[in-house]
Amino acid sequence: MKRRDFLKYAVTLPVLGYTKDIRPKGNSVLVMVELSGGNDGLNTLIPYSEPLYYSLRPSIAIPTKDILKISKSVGLHPSLKEMFDIYNKGELAIVQGLGYPHPILSHFRSIEIWNRAESYNDYFPNGWLSTLRPFGHNIIKGVVTGGSFGPLEGMMDTIMLNSIDRFVSWARVSEGRVYMQSNKPFIDKIISIDRDIQMSAKLLKENRFKNSKPKYPFPKSQIGREFEIVWKIVCGDSGVSYIKVLQGGYDTHINQKPIQKRLLSDLSKSISILRKNLILCRKWSDILVATYSEFGRRVEQNANGGTDHGTANVHFVTGGRVKGGLYGKYPSLKHLDKNGNLIYTTDFRSYYNTIAKDFLHRHSHRVAKFEKLGFIKS
Amino acid sequence: MKQLILKILFILIFGNTLFATSFSECTHLLQKIGMGIDEFSLNRCTKAPNYTQSVKRLVTYSNRYKTALPFLQKYFNLGKSYRALSATDKIKLNKEKGKYRFRLKEWWIESMLSSKAPLKEAMVLFWSNHFTTKIGKIQQPYLLYRQNMLFREYALGNYREFLHKIIQDPAMLIFLDNRVNRKKHPNENFAREILELFTLGVGNYTQKDIVEFSRALSGYGLDRNMTKFKFYRKRHDNGIKNFLGYEGMLNAHQAIDIILQKKAVSVFVVKKLWRYFISDTPYMPEVNRLAKIFRDSNYNISSVVEAIFLSPYFKDKSNSATIVKSPIELIVGTLRTLKYRGYPLKKAVIFSSMMGQNPFNPPNVRGWVGGKEWLNSHTLMARRIFIDQLFLKNSINSIDNSLFLSRGGLNIDKAVKILSPIELKVVPFGNFNKSLKSVLMHPAYQLK
């Protein structure tokens, strides 16, 4: 008979202990915010001095008078007023024209490219952040509060966290479960998740903020709830380096105006509340919040008051160490690609390289050759 | 001589049991199907003269079986009459709609729990994750019931006919925006997703093909009440299209037939079925063989599913515990196998959502990717909590262990054979339910 997987079951062992003092102090925490579905950058940072913008978008263009002006040519969507304030305080960087050569218009392939920091014809096995050298001995390295693991895919010691309370109380079901490794990859995967659960639950139990209410309440939306977890983890010193947050709903093929208005307003409020609460616990300078999305949207609106899949896009970075301002160059509305989409002006890996090098002080071979943009204070 | 006669007599009398499909072949087959093991299906399987017959009978039976429970037909006030409502009445109506949506999710779970044809339910689940629709975008939840009935009709039917029906399915036309795809203003969404996710897969068409296909799909919309398919001749683009190498005044149905001339479709669908029934890593030479069977049968789904179950790769024990059960498979399969009486449907829906599979609400048009995506700290804990709660004091009496009886007593080894995709050695607890729980808590139980 062939050797089979005789797994011995139900051996109760105490969970391995860990020492408190190995958690690094003064962490850098990167929060990547996925704007899922493909946010319309043209109505986010609006090229209001460009007549083509108004002629190609007769029913969805934002009227010039409502735009929160950043420069003589561009300005923010009126729903982003809290972020506009942060911009005026010099803590918000706006990065224009981000994209990559041979843009792909499929949601799934394009977000993969952004998650893994790869070229259109590369297929790397894991998220770009998981390739960075780790910081000290974090018990939990990464936390995902929504959506897929994305840039954290394949990272060790990374957990999905929907609620700290629930995590701590549920963790008892995987307590003391020790199984033998097998030749089945998924069994080994579950064993390793069990281990993460035990270690993380111990750490989260000690989080001083786990039952606190924030002074400035977060919006009751999905992203608001996710940002509240970010706040607890960062203020409570859980030693996490990477967090991924999701805001969905940006695939606005139909009736874009009210949908995007609601989403951007939610995003802007959540970011500003997070900032205020993090300033209170003196962590605002430890954190960097950066948005990303699979693509921007078509320049010309469609017949349904919406926009179809596009390419180059604008993204935001904020945090106490950000050197606010406008970065990159707005793509031309005159010279479009064959599908009527914007031609990118800055490779998105320049954006990532700036984050990796200047904020995290880490080298990433996937993005290192792309020129940094300088939006982090030295 | 006397002995020989006795032997022949013996075979005549007991032949039926001597030449029958083995217990382990049947548990493997039913485990892989993913809806748990019920006594009825297990008996049918083991009583067939051989494995091939077991598979054939299972497929035919499932194809014919009418599984769905009745569901309350209801269309909500929309459009003008909705706008005329007072603010409080609007809130009331939306609340009612929310309840109705939830009831629909419960209905689906209940249909799966009560079905005698697990393969049919598995295929409905498969197609609902192939032709995805998010309930939130569909103003009339009843359209999703109708879509689910369409999935039931074609679960093991003809894929070609199925596709022709799909491009006229109201929920689909709403979800992928084709109801607003007009000659003057084409909308690419439906065309793109049909090519990328329903038929050819990425890399087998160009952006130009998407544009041309969306022209062919223009005018395929809904009537004024948004409840029925309607073709609008004036909104349809009648011009010459250049699609996948063909030129002509194609309409959407002709375009579908052109797509189906490509081998890539059968390969794409078989790979997806492989990931659903065999393992996470399709083996291409065998995929190609199965894809040919699919094409040669003029896209008969029964034929290809039967061929998959008969494939040596499916039967190979090394392909056990190679697929992560979806939350619905875990919940429905467990409750069916334990013959759990009266599990609250509301709880089943909530648990499924917590494990990452909110019925009728996939994360996006690609559906649930499955595999390792099902497993993270949060979902694994939810999976274990679900099992843990079944064994709580006030719940345990609802479990009916009769499937695990052998020779008069409860037999944990038999339970392991039925429940676990791999051999497990259970340290005896002295208490059957405690041992049973340990099998269900094992990592292998999350797999099929």
pLDDT at res. B10: 58
Contact flag B189-A253 (C-beta cutoff 8 Å): yes
Neighbours of A108 (CB within 10 A): 16
Q: Kindly list the distances between the CA atom of residue A59 and the CA atoms of A65, A255, A263, A306, B189, in Å, as whole numbers in the listed order.
A: 16, 10, 19, 9, 20
pLDDT at res. A25: 46
Q: Which of B319, B377, B427 to probe by mutation at the A interface, max A CB count within 10 Å?
A: B377
**Which chain B residues are within 8 Å of A254, Cβ to Cβ?**
177, 180
From B154's Cα to the closest Cα of chain A, the distance in A is 27
Across B17-58, the runs of DSSP E, i.e. the strands, are: none
> In chain A, what are the domains?
20-359 (3.40.720)
% of chain B surpassing 70 pLDDT: 96
Contact flag B384-A8 (C-beta cutoff 8 Å): no
Q: Which of A170, A179, A244, A301 to probe by mutation at the B interface, max B CB count within 10 Å?
A: A170
From B66's Cα to the closest Cα of chain A, the distance in A is 35
Domain termination site, one of B43, B64, B85: B64
A202: left (phi over 0), alpha (psi -120 to 50) or beta: alpha
Does B182 reside within a domain? no
From B209's Cα to the closest Cα of chain A, the distance in A is 12
Both B360 and B331 in a single domain?
yes
pLDDT at res. B8: 63
Does B177 reside within a domain? no
Which of A49, A34, A114 is closest to A311 using CA atoms?
A114
- Any idea what DSSP says for residue B98? H
Does B10 reside within a domain? yes
- Span of B264-273, B280-289, B424-433 with lowest mean pLDDT: B424-433
**Which chain B residues are within 8 Å of A147, Cβ to Cβ?**
363
Structure tokens belonging to residue B308: 């998959």
**Which chain A residues are within 8 Å of B184, Cβ to Cβ?**
303
Both B346 and B282 in a single domain?
no
Query: Is the pLDDT reported for residue B6 higher than 90?
Result: no
Both B380 and B294 in a single domain?
no
Give the whole-angstrom CA distance, residue B132 versus residue B85: 32
CA B188 centroid distance within chain? 27
Q: Kindly list the distances between the CA atom of residue B122 and the CA atoms of A144, A335, B108, B360, in Å, as whole numbers in the listed order.
A: 30, 50, 12, 15
Does B92 reside within a domain? no
Contact flag B379-A197 (C-beta cutoff 8 Å): no
CA A192 centroid distance within chain? 25
**Considering the entire predicted model, what is its pTM?**
0.81
A127: left (phi over 0), alpha (psi -120 to 50) or beta: beta
Both B346 and B410 in a single domain?
yes
Beta bridge partners of A34: A246, A292
Beta bridge partners of B229: B222
Closest partner CB to B443 (pick from A191, A248, A253): A191
Q: Are A345 and A97 in contact (CB under 8 A)?
A: yes
Both B314 and B345 in a single domain?
no
Contact flag A304-B443 (C-beta cutoff 8 Å): no
Structural domain boundaries, residue B308: 263-319
Number of domains observed in the structure of chain B? 3
Contact flag B177-A160 (C-beta cutoff 8 Å): no
Give the whole-angstrom CA distance, residue B188 versus residue B407: 63
Both B392 and B333 in a single domain?
yes
List, for residues B332-367, the tens digit of each pLDDT value.
Answer: 999 999 999 999 999 999 999 999 999 999 988 889
Does B311 reside within a domain? yes
Contact flag B438-A8 (C-beta cutoff 8 Å): no
Both B358 and B407 in a single domain?
yes
The band of B14, judged by pLDDT with boundaries at 50, 70 and 90, is low
Contact flag B378-A160 (C-beta cutoff 8 Å): yes
Contact flag B375-A189 (C-beta cutoff 8 Å): yes
Give the whole-angstrom CA distance, residue B72 versus residue B100: 9
pLDDT at res. A4: 40
From A238's Cα to the closest Cα of chain B, the distance in A is 17
Q: pLDDT below 70 — which residues of chain A?
A: 1-26, 136-137
Provide long-range contacts, Cβ within 8 A and 24+ apart, for A355-360: A355/A30, A355/A288, A355/A290, A355/A317, A356/A132, A359/A28, A359/A30, A359/A288, A359/A319, A359/A321, A360/A28, A360/A30, A360/A132, A360/A241
pLDDT at res. B264: 97
Query: Is the pLDDT reported for residue B208 higher than 50?
Result: yes
Does B77 reside within a domain? no
Domain termination site, one of B48, B64, B80: B64
pLDDT at res. A279: 97
The tokens 């109380």 sit on which residue? A169
From B180's Cα to the closest Cα of chain A, the distance in A is 7
Domain termination site, one of B17, B41, B64: B64
Give the CA-trace dihedral at A58, A60, A64, A69, to 10 degrees.
-140
Residue A360 carries which side chain, given as an amino acid letter? L
Average pLDDT, chain B: 93
Average pLDDT over every residue of B241-252: 96
DSSP per-residue codes, B257-319: HHHTTSHHHHHHHHHHHHHHHT-SS--HHHHHHHHHHHHHTTSBHHHHHHHHHHSHHHH-GGG
* Chain B residue closest in CA terms to A121: B203
* Chain B residue closest in CA terms to A36: B364
Query: Is the pLDDT reported for residue B42 higher than 60?
Result: yes
Both B335 and B314 in a single domain?
no
Both B340 and B424 in a single domain?
yes
Which of B393, B401, B397 is closest to B440 using CA atoms?
B401
Both B304 and B351 in a single domain?
no
Does B144 reside within a domain? no
Both B299 and B332 in a single domain?
no
- Span of B4-8, B65-69, B155-159 with lowest mean pLDDT: B4-8
Structure tokens belonging to residue A82: 């809290």
Strands A92-99 and A325-327: parallel
Structure tokens belonging to residue B51: 């494995």
Both B346 and B417 in a single domain?
yes
